[in-house]
């Protein structure tokens, strides 16, 4: 089974530390994030984050993920699964690349593997991309800079 990779990037007119603060303030996701509607836990390496996602199909999805990487102002990386890793697993990276002049390039990328992603490849890619794009726009607004 071939993995499914989804990427979404945007330029944000805000400094890396402002974007990082919003991205890692999990208890506030419900206020601004149209895709990850709820997130609880810690973003420290090894910690667990409990996530509830809402797709544009209106189907809620809840999972727990282990934080694999945490580089303040630069990258947050977690891996989670639904029911069991063989059924559906996602390896998600949020990256922040400073561009100068108080701007950053923010990117989300996720590699999905398992039985469900293999069976619903196109649907998963479309819905994840929509969710990532919506989150990226909302993150830009919350961090104080318009997306480009």
CATH number of the structural domain spanning residue 61? 3.30.530.20
Q: What are phi and psi of 30, to 5 degrees?
A: -60, -25
In a domain, 104, yes or no: yes
In a domain, 148, yes or no: no
Helix axes 121-143, 16-24, angle to 10 degrees: 120
Q: What is the pTM of this model?
A: 0.93
> What is the DSSP annotation of 18-30?
HHHHHHH-GGGHH
Please give the Cα distance from 109 to 19 (Å, whole number): 17
Please give the Cα distance from 121 to 140 (Å, whole number): 28
Give 63's strand partners.
51
Q: Which residue bears the tokens 């469900």?
A: 116
pLDDT digits (tens, 9 = 90+) for 104-137: 999 999 999 999 899 999 999 999 999 999 999 9
> What is the DSSP annotation of 122-133?
HHHHHHHHHHHH
Domain assignment of residue 124, given as a range: 4-143
Q: Residue 141: count other Cβ atoms within 10 Å of its Cβ.
A: 15
Is the pLDDT confidence value at 42 over 80? yes
Q: How many domains, the chain? A: 1
Is the pLDDT confidence value at 83 over 70? yes
Asked if 94 contacts 81 with a C-beta cutoff of 8 angstroms, the reply is no
What average pLDDT is seen over the chain? Answer: 93
Is the pLDDT confidence value at 139 over 90? yes
């Amino acid at each position: 089974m071939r993995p499914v990779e989804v990427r979404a990037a945007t330029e944000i007119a805000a400094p890396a530390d402002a974007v990082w603060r919003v991205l890692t303030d999990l208890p506030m996701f419900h206020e601004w994030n149209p895709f990850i509607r709820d997130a609880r836990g810690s973003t420290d390496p090894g910690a667990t984050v409990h996530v509830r996602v809402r797709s544009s199909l209106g189907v809620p999805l809840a999972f727990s993920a282990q934080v694999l990487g945490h580089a303040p102002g630069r990258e947050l990386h977690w891996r989670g699964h639904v029911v069991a890793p063989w059924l559906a697993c996602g390896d998600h990276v949020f990256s922040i690349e400073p561009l100068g002049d108080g701007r950053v390039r923010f990117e989300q990328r996720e590699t999905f593997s398992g039985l469900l992603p293999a069976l619903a490849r196109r649907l998963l890619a479309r819905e994840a991309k929509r969710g990532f794009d919506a989150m990226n726009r909302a993150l830009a607004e919350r961090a104080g800079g318009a997306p480009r």
